[in-house]
Amino acid sequence: MTVPQRQGLMFVLSSPSGAGKTTLSRRLLERQTNTSPEAAPMVMSVSITTRPKRPGEVEGRDYFFVSPEDYGIMVAQGALLEHAEVFGYGYGTPRAFVNEHLTRGVDVLFDIDWQGTRQLAAASRDDLVSVFILPPSLGELERRLRARAQDSDEVVARRMDKAAHEISHWQEYDYVLVNDDLDATLSRIEHILEVERLRRARQSWLRKFIENSLNA
Ligand code: ADP
Ligand code: 5GP
């Protein structure tokens, strides 16, 4: 039998800041790579941002940290698949990396906000699977933001102020999960990914397989 071929899908995780999407993305990616070490079936899209680096963040792993000038140039050149202003800083997804992997049948994981998700949906709805992560409560969201210990009190307060607005976009997503227990949420995300990969519309190899091998 020929090797099944399909176009990669764009898998988006969004949430109010602190609900756990970075933790979930890392765990998902680790597990995806562990199960198929010979060919990673999923890669993370690393965004560019004009925001300052947080303690512990690594250039090229967490973000590509760029100046507002370079950000403006990339926007003007159309080098970003989507871009948006979040908390007063510019964020965007480099287009070439995503397209190259999707074409090769590799899924791409995004940690982007609702504005970016909307832009991806407008550009390529059929290739998009979007998941919105909710915290169990606002109290727990604040606890997580403080526990992460990467932001000042002022930044935490600003992120809490924005949480309700971000949560208001939950209905624009294909799936909505409450991230109470981390392992349970991860497992649900893996199930969503598994069945979305199997959708008929993504199995471009099927027609040939049926015509050539099953039409005896
Ligand atoms: P986000 O990327 O959405 O801003 P993070 O992944 O940085 O959020 O998570 C914020 C903090 O909450 C981190 O310290 C992380 O370890 C913690 N966290 C994430 N998910 C859970 C969970 N299900 N239960 C408890 N703590 C969690
Ligand atoms: P943080 O500064 O906490 O890393 O991210 C702040 C917000 O920006 C999060 O909601 C995150 O999902 C979003 N974000 C990160 N990268 C991008 C991007 O490339 N595009 C868009 N639209 N949002 C992004």
pLDDT in tens, 5-30: 788 999 999 999 999 999 999 999 99
* Ligand 1 pocket test target in 137, 141, 148, 150 with most atoms within 8 Å of CB: 148
pLDDT, tens only, 192-201: 999 999 999 8
Give me the pLDDT at residue 35, please: 67
Around ligand 1, the residues with Cβ closer than 6 Å are: 15, 17-23, 144, 147-148, 179, 181-182
The answer to whether 11 and 195 have CB atoms below 8 angstroms apart is: no
Q: Which of 156, 153, 194 is nearest to 175 (CA)?
A: 194
CA 33 to centroid of ligand 2, rounded, Å:
23
pLDDT, tens only, 125-173: 999 999 999 999 999 999 999 988 777 888 889 889 999 999 999 999 9
pLDDT, tens only, 74-95: 999 999 999 999 989 999 999 9
Q: Is the pLDDT of residue 36 over 90?
A: no
Alpha-helical segments (H) within 45-103: 68-77, 95-103
* Ligand 1 pocket test target in 51, 144, 159 with most atoms within 8 Å of CB: 144
What does pTM read for this prediction? 0.93
Counting ligands in written order, the one closest to the CA of 65 is 2
* pLDDT mean across residues, the chain: 92
Considering only CA atoms, give the Rg of the chain.
18
Q: Residue whose CA is closest, atom 26 of ligand 1?
A: 144
The answer to whether 167 and 122 have CB atoms below 8 angstroms apart is: no
Give me the pLDDT at residue 151, please: 75
Q: Residue whose CA is closest, atom 20 of ligand 1?
A: 20
Q: Look up residue 87 and give its two tokens.
A: 């908390």
The answer to whether 194 and 36 have CB atoms below 8 angstroms apart is: no
CA 212 to centroid of ligand 1, rounded, Å:
49
Where do the domains of the chain lie, and which CATH numbers do they carry?
10-44+108-215 (3.40.50.300)
Q: How confident is the model at residue 4 (pLDDT cuts 50, 70, 90)?
A: very low
Counting ligands in written order, the one closest to the CA of 111 is 2
